[in-house]
Amino acid sequence: MLTTLLAVLVATSPAHAGTACADLHDFALPSDTGMSAEIDWERHTGQALTLLTDGGRPDCAKELSSDLRAALRVANTEGRVNDTIAQDLQQRLGAVHAVAANVVRGWRLVQQGRPDHAQNTAQEALTSIASSGLVAQLTPTQRNRLESQANDLWTLAQDAADARKALSSGDTERAASLAQALWTMVEGWCGEGRLGVPQCVAITAEAASLLGKAEETGASGEVPYLFQRDNLLDPDTSGANTAVAMLLAHYGASVSPDEITRAWGNRFANKPAGLANVFNDQAVKHGVPVRLIPHASGTMAELDRQLAAGVPTIVHGRFAVGGHAVVALRKEGSTYVVNDPGGRWTQHYEGGYGYSGSDEGRATRYDGSAFRKAVATHDGINTGPVSWHEIRRVD
């Protein structure tokens, strides 16, 4: 789908939209002085402004304005351009560069999967347009086009940010709906030339990523919570099996922890490889479209990336003596939100649970520092590998 849309963009957008910036202007450092050179400087400055407005190429406007400013400084030092003219041009080019840089940075943030930051940058672009000296130099049409660039960036970034929030909260059904709506909007705007190819590539990549992540989980809603002490078989030692049952339920499979314990015992899932075998066996039996890939020597960065994508997973750690497994739902700031089958953890390395009510482990929040000590250290102090499970979709 991404390849198809990009082909449409190239076919329907202006012929120059995908070309290199150097091919879109004729800037060359004037070798003479006087009126002819001043006219050249003025014309080149106008080219930078046109690239930013009518051309829809803020990337090229940023590049050209930067080159012009550097060349102007040299020419002014060498006496080849009047001080007053040089100062005026520098001011105008600085305004073009500031606006273009904000717009370019915003689209780059979108492409990097950081639409919330892109929104802030779009607002900065609008502010810089209003506060710069550009407004007086623009025709009404040019000003509308320039402001539309920043407004379009803000709107699309807002939609992408909403989809990512839905993913991070576990509501993949809403995330998929939002991502599909974003894709449809992008397809329309890019097809009609409202956005240039660089901008379309950025937002298309984000929309495709969101659609893929929503589809990858194959699930909707929050992960159901199960309390291991409600199990009839081995309630004290069936935490890993309970974590497996919760994640299976997230994908629509109704399997009780006791069923898993009857089939596999209460120790097989205590290690990543064993737990993945248990989950994958049940996934095959119940038609669940995902598999677990165990990582016994993983990192917190790997775990955080999966959670940031809105994909909950099972993590092993020293929450109690002998180890324990929880379903990590998401990370919010420095806090980890988990479904803990054991209840509410004391947040001390191997500290256990004391007395926990049957619902205290549901979407419970653990301090990031305490959580890392349990899952990413050997002894609560020295760093160790993280045991977690990657989610892979299967056909």
Q: Closest Cα partner for 371 from 62, 330, 213?
A: 330
- Cross-strand bridge partners of residue 135: none
Q: How many domains does the chain have?
A: 2
CA–CA dist 112, 24 (Å, integer): 27
CB 246 within 8 A of CB 197: no
Q: Closest Cα partner for 376 from 306, 308, 299?
A: 299
Question: What pLDDT is attached to residue 85?
Answer: 86
> In this structure, are 195 and 319 located in the same domain?
no
223 is a domain residue: no
> In this structure, are 257 and 375 located in the same domain?
yes
CB 349 within 8 A of CB 375: no
> In this structure, are 34 and 83 located in the same domain?
yes
> In this structure, are 76 and 201 located in the same domain?
yes
Q: What are phi and psi of 30, to 5 degrees?
A: -60, 135
Q: Which two tokens stand for residue 6?
A: 């990009």
Q: Give the pLDDT of the chain (395 residues) as one tens digit per residue.
A: 444 444 443 343 333 444 577 776 767 665 555 555 677 888 888 888 888 887 678 888 888 888 889 888 888 888 888 888 888 888 888 888 888 888 888 888 888 888 888 888 888 888 888 877 777 777 888 888 888 888 999 999 999 999 888 876 667 777 878 888 888 888 888 888 888 778 888 888 888 778 777 665 555 457 899 999 999 999 999 999 999 999 999 988 989 999 999 999 999 999 999 999 999 999 999 998 889 999 999 999 999 988 887 789 999 999 999 999 999 999 998 999 999 999 999 999 999 998 878 889 999 999 999 999 999 999 999 999 999 999 887 76
- Cross-strand bridge partners of residue 43: none
> In this structure, are 95 and 124 located in the same domain?
yes
222 is a domain residue: no
Question: What pLDDT is attached to residue 387?
Answer: 97
245 is a domain residue: yes
Q: Closest Cα partner for 231 from 252, 254, 261, 267?
A: 261
Domain boundary among 170, 192, 217: 217
Q: Closest Cα partner for 183 from 4, 394, 18?
A: 4
> In this structure, are 305 and 187 located in the same domain?
no
296 is a domain residue: yes
Domain boundary among 186, 217, 248: 217
273 is a domain residue: yes
Is the Cα torsion angle 200, 117, 171, 174 positive or negative in sign?
negative
Q: Which two tokens stand for residue 357?
A: 């009510």
Cβ-defined contacts of 102-107 (< 8 Å, 24+): 102/128, 102/150, 103/58, 103/149, 103/150, 103/153, 104/58, 104/59, 104/62, 106/150, 106/153, 106/157, 107/153, 107/198, 107/199, 107/202, 107/203
54 is a domain residue: yes
CATH of the domain at 277: 3.90.70.10
Question: What pLDDT is attached to residue 32?
Answer: 54
> In this structure, are 373 and 301 located in the same domain?
yes
> In this structure, are 329 and 382 located in the same domain?
yes
- Say which residues have a Cβ less than 8 Å from residue 59's Cβ, sequence separation at least 6: 21, 100, 104, 198
> In this structure, are 162 and 276 located in the same domain?
no
* Separation of CA 173 from chain center: 18
- Cross-strand bridge partners of residue 390: 293
* Separation of CA 259 from chain center: 38
> In this structure, are 192 and 63 located in the same domain?
yes
Cβ-defined contacts of 37-43 (< 8 Å, 24+): 37/75, 37/80, 37/81, 38/81, 38/82, 38/85, 41/68, 41/72, 41/75, 41/81, 41/85, 41/89, 42/89
Question: What pLDDT is attached to residue 60?
Answer: 87
CA Rg value for the chain: 28
Q: Closest Cα partner for 372 from 297, 329, 306, 319?
A: 319
Domain coverage including residue 323? 228-393
242 is a domain residue: yes
Is the Cα torsion angle 155, 156, 158, 159 positive or negative in sign?
positive
357 is a domain residue: yes
Would you say how long the chain is, in residues?
395
Question: What pLDDT is attached to residue 29?
Answer: 61
Residue that the structure tokens 């789908």 belong to: 1
> In this structure, are 234 and 193 located in the same domain?
no
> In this structure, are 151 and 205 located in the same domain?
yes
